[in-house]
Each structure stands twice: as C-alpha cells, then as structure tokens.
Amino acid sequence: MPAFLILSLISLCFFSASTIVFKITAKHSIPNPYAWFFWYFLIYFVLGLFLPFFSPIQIIPSDFRVLFYNVPYAIAIYIGIFCFSLALYKLDITTMAPLSNWGNVFTPMLAFFILGEKIQPKNMPWLLLIIIAGILATYNEKTKLKSFFNKYIYLYLVFVFCLSITRIVSNMGTNAVGFWNFTFYEFFYGSVGLLIITPFIYKKIKVGIKPVLFLIPGVLLEFLGLLAVIKAFSYQVIIPALVSSMPLGSIIAFILSRYDRRLLEYHPLKTYAIRFAGIFVMTFGLIMILY
C-alpha cells in the first residue's frame, strides 16, 4: 500500500474523531464561536512548539522567503476556520458532512490547474459517484431543500474551499522547504494572524479553564491528523483529499447516538441505514479509483 494512502487513512481516523469532539464542544462547552476560534488556534500554536523535538528545524530561517508558501496557507486557514467556527454553532452535522464533499470538487480542480495533477478519464464517473453518495451518506429525514439556502451554508462552503487551497499549498510548501520546516513555520509564524485578530474579539474569548481543557483533545486529534495528511499531500493531493474526507464520522455519530442521544443528534435506524449505504458506495468508488 502506498505511503500516501496509509497516511491518508490515519488522517481520516483522527479527523473523524476530532470533528465529533468539536461539535460536542460547541454544543455543550464553549459558549460562542469567537472563543472557540481563539482557543483553537492558541492550542495549535502550543502544540506546534513541540515539533522541533521530533526533527531538526531551522526555527529562524536565514531567508524569510522560505515562508512564501506559509502566507497563503495561513490566510486561507484563518478565513476558513473562522467561517467553520461560525457554522459549527448553527449547522447540524448532517448538513455539514455533505457540504464537505464539495472539497472533492474544489481540490481536484485546483490540483489540475495549479499542480498539473490529472484525473484519468476512466476515474471521472467514480469521482462523481463519490460526490453523489456523499450526500446520501449524510441523509437526514428532517432536512428540507430550503434549509440549504442560508448564510451559514455559504460560510461552510467558504471553509471547504479554503481547506482545498491549503491542500494545494501544502504540496508546494513541503516540497519547497521540507515537511517539518513547513509545518513548524505554519504553526509558529502563522500565529501572527491570531495576534492581529485578537483585539477585535477579545471581549468574547473569556471562558473558564474547563471548556478549554475539553477542546484540547479535539485539537490534538486534528493536529495528529493534519501532520499525517500534510505528509500525504507532499506526494500528491487528489487521492489523499478523497480518502481523508470519507464520512467515517457518521459511524462514530451513530454509535454515540445509541449511547446517549443528547450528545449529538439522534435519528431513527432507517436514516442510518441509508447513510451507511452511501458510505459503502463511496468506499466502493474510492477503491475503483485506487485500483
């Protein structure tokens, strides 16, 4: 199995678990999206400080032009996560998940035009099948068409597009300055953006220590997933993007709903049967693309 595929599967597991934690945090712990946004990035900054212990890093680069790729990454991720935090407090997971599948449209397009990665014509029907099945995999018996036309839907789509941009930049940045340098520069120097934003939101970011502690596991899980997927993106972009966006979180949400329906969302078994059928179809389509 190719290294990029193994890394993509690892990131999928971490991302799925972290998304569940983030939604629980927004629902039960941190009171508003601005506080969630601030503490999310501050925890990421602290975690980034540990990276030099794993690999030699030129903490202060001799030429700051090596940060060229980190700037667009930082801009995209700050805009994207800010939109995500606003949407997180308003959208149901069953709405967010199918919207995430638009990344499977944005990322291949950007990879084609910027990196020159090509999708073989024989794989196009399978890519379309994955996108369609992604909507089926997040079926909600209460969802109405009009619910998809509000500003939080658009905010989430902005997040998905920004995430697609970071995937492309990750490929270029890691190949230009190295994996460990690129990731450290992003977490360390990228924190400047938090300093710029804080004066505008400082009145809303005050929370107790317990909500922040509850957020840490989610950020840590995503942090590990991000390290894995950025490394995968250093090989190629399209396949890791498809794998890491598979709706494994739906299975986790199902298990949690049977344990305690108050944690997230609760749906009848018929709904989950339809979702798992969609997941099966998505998995089949991905296997056909890979092989």
pLDDT digits (tens, 9 = 90+) for 146-204: 555 678 888 988 999 999 999 999 999 999 999 999 999 999 988 888 888 888 888 88
CB 246 within 8 A of CB 100: no
Give 101 or 31, the one with higher predicted confidence: 31
Taking residues 13-21, what's their average pLDDT?
88
Q: What percent of the chain has pLDDT over 70?
A: 85
pLDDT tens-digit map of 238-288 = 888 878 877 676 677 667 666 666 666 666 777 777 777 877 887 787 777
Greatest mean pLDDT among 134-143, 209-218, 233-242 lies in: 209-218
Please, which pLDDT band fits residue 142 given cuts at 50, 70 and 90? Answer: low
Q: Give the pLDDT of residue 140.
A: 65
List Cα–Cα distances, 282 to 55, 76, 133, 290, in angstroms. Answer: 37, 28, 6, 12
For the chain, what percentages of helix, strand and coil (3-state, to nearest 5) are there? 80, 0, 20
Taking residues 14-24, what's their average pLDDT?
88
Taking residues 88-114, what's their average pLDDT?
76
Greatest mean pLDDT among 70-84, 196-210, 226-240 lies in: 70-84
Q: What percent of the chain has pLDDT over 90?
A: 33
CB 222 within 8 A of CB 15: yes
CB 235 within 8 A of CB 264: no
Burial of 112 (0-12, 13-18, 19+ CB in 10 A): middle
In 3D, which of 258, 248, 234, 243 has the Cα closest to residue 279?
Answer: 248
